Amino acid sequence: MTLLLAVTLVALQAPAQGVDPRLQRLDSITRPMVAALVDSARAAALPTEPLVQRALEGATKRAAGDRIVAAVRRLALDLGHARDALGITTSPPELTAAAAALRAGAPAATLTELRRIRRESLTVPLAVLTDLVSSGVPVDSAAAAVLSLAAKARDADLVEFRRAVERDVALGAPPASATAAAAAAFTTADVQVNAGARQQRPGRP
């Protein structure tokens, strides 16, 4: 109740910016609250597109207005923390992936370390970390494995690594050991995976 009140006050004070027309899909009570959150994010130089998409997801799923507002607010905070960990020139896709990783329980220090050791985009390693945790891998095992691979592995290798872990977990292996084993295998074998072909055919992503 207090959250709604606070957000309402912010909504009343928010400067009049052009409201994203897509937010018309929200009801008239929810729309200004979400618009205010989007404005605050923009003022803080955080990406706004993920916030709009989260609101639209809620609208399509016919979620209650306060759930939508809470979800958007939570994502905005996560994006801010992600930027604190990764720095202000981080790209929006990286920030989105980082926000999800933080929400999954990855420590901010892991993100900062990833940034230090990997030259390429962090989007895929962060996403892989998050997905592993979703599959039941303990967050420190997932973080350790991703960090061990991130310096040298290409995006496609990281995705393949994640698939290997999920396969093994589905076959009954304990998640932490499946992760460690797959990471070790990738490090020693220097696997070159032709994932390009997979992506061009219609198939499971």
Query: What is the contact surface with another protein in residues (CB under 8 A)?
Result: 22, 42, 44-50, 52-53, 56-61, 63, 67-68, 70-71, 74, 83-84, 87-89, 91-93, 96-97, 100, 103-104, 120-121, 123-124, 126-128, 130-131, 133-135, 154-156, 158-159, 162, 166, 199-205
Residues 6+ apart with CB under 8 A from 80: 44, 46
Other C-beta atoms closer than 10 Å to the C-beta of 157 total: 19
Burial (CB count <10 Å: 0-12, 13-18, 19+), residue 169 = buried
Residue from 195, 185, 115 nearest 159 by CA: 195
Shortest Cβ distance from residue 173 to another protein (Å)? 17
**CB of 12 or CB of 62, closer to another protein:** 62
Shortest Cβ distance from residue 135 to another protein (Å)? 7
Shortest Cβ distance from residue 152 to another protein (Å)? 12
Shortest Cβ distance from residue 30 to another protein (Å)? 13
**CB of 128 or CB of 183, closer to another protein:** 128
Residue from 147, 143, 141, 152 nearest 180 by CA: 141
C-alpha 26/C-alpha 49 separation (Å) is 16
